[in-house]
Amino acid sequence: MRGQSGKVVDLVASSIGGGNIRVVNLLGFPVDFSGQFHTLIIPHRDRPGLIAAVSGLLAESGINIAQMKVTREQRGAEAIMIIETDQNCPESLASQIKGIANIQDVIVVKPL
């Protein structure tokens, strides 16, 4: 999968018919999303308040979360947020999110 900035991300996906897919593994984490929405892929360190900080910035920018899944290796370890939104996330907002402590990256993916 190639993000808006051109960054390539390793993933495993399955065709579910009708031209649709389900992404089931991303960056080594089990995930489940369709790629039908604007998607933010956010690898991070599991810390209290991080989900609230990210969702707060999205809300302040008028971006509605359609679906969200957070997966972690273990408490306090590496984790990943998959946020599917109704609107595109501008690069300026992605940069703000990336500036939050313990966020490792923000990959913006347009609908497939």
Contact between residue 16 and residue 70 where contact means Cβ atoms under 8 Å apart? no
- Going along the chain from its start, the domains and CATH numbers come out as 37-109 (3.30.70.260)
* 3-class secondary structure, 71: strand
Cα radius of gyration (the chain): 13
- Residues 45-56 pLDDT 10s: 999 999 999 999
pLDDT of residue 92: 97
Question: Does the pLDDT of residue 14 top 60, yes or no?
Answer: yes
Sequence-separated (6 or more) residues with CB below 8 Å from residue 42: 54, 80, 81, 82, 83, 97, 103, 105, 106, 107
CA nearest neighbour of 96 among 58, 62, 47: 58
**By percentage, how much of the chain surpasses pLDDT 70?**
93
